[in-house]
């Protein structure tokens, strides 16, 4: 897991989808990993546990 340094880090999908669907990559970076992932209601540990549990359930 990387530390948030305040500057947006490009997602891994940017290299694969950046030219094809730049708006999708922008939304993923800003909404999903910016707004949703960084919410203070859950600790980083709890967010990670929820993510791993959801992936295992799939």
* 26-40 residue pLDDT tens: 888 888 777 777 888
Is 45 part of a structural domain of the chain?
yes
Residue 56 has pLDDT above 90, yes or no: yes
Is 24 part of a structural domain of the chain?
yes
Cα 6 from Cα 9, distance rounded (Å): 9
**Cβ atoms of residues 11 and 33 within 8 Å:** yes
Is 44 part of a structural domain of the chain?
yes
Cα 18 from Cα 24, distance rounded (Å): 8
Cα 22 from Cα 28, distance rounded (Å): 10
Question: What is the number of domains present in the chain?
Answer: 1
Is 4 part of a structural domain of the chain?
no
Domain housing 49: 14-57
Residue 49 has pLDDT above 60, yes or no: yes
Query: How high does pLDDT run on average in the chain?
Result: 75
Q: Can you give the pTM of this predicted structure?
A: 0.45
């Amino acid at each position: 897991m990387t530390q948030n340094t305040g500057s947006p880090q490009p997602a891994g999908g940017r290299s694969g989808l950046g030219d094809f669907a730049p708006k999708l990559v922008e939304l993923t970076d800003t909404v999903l990993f910016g707004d949703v992932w960084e919410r203070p209601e859950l600790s980083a540990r709890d967010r990670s546990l929820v993510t791993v549990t959801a992936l295992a359930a799939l």
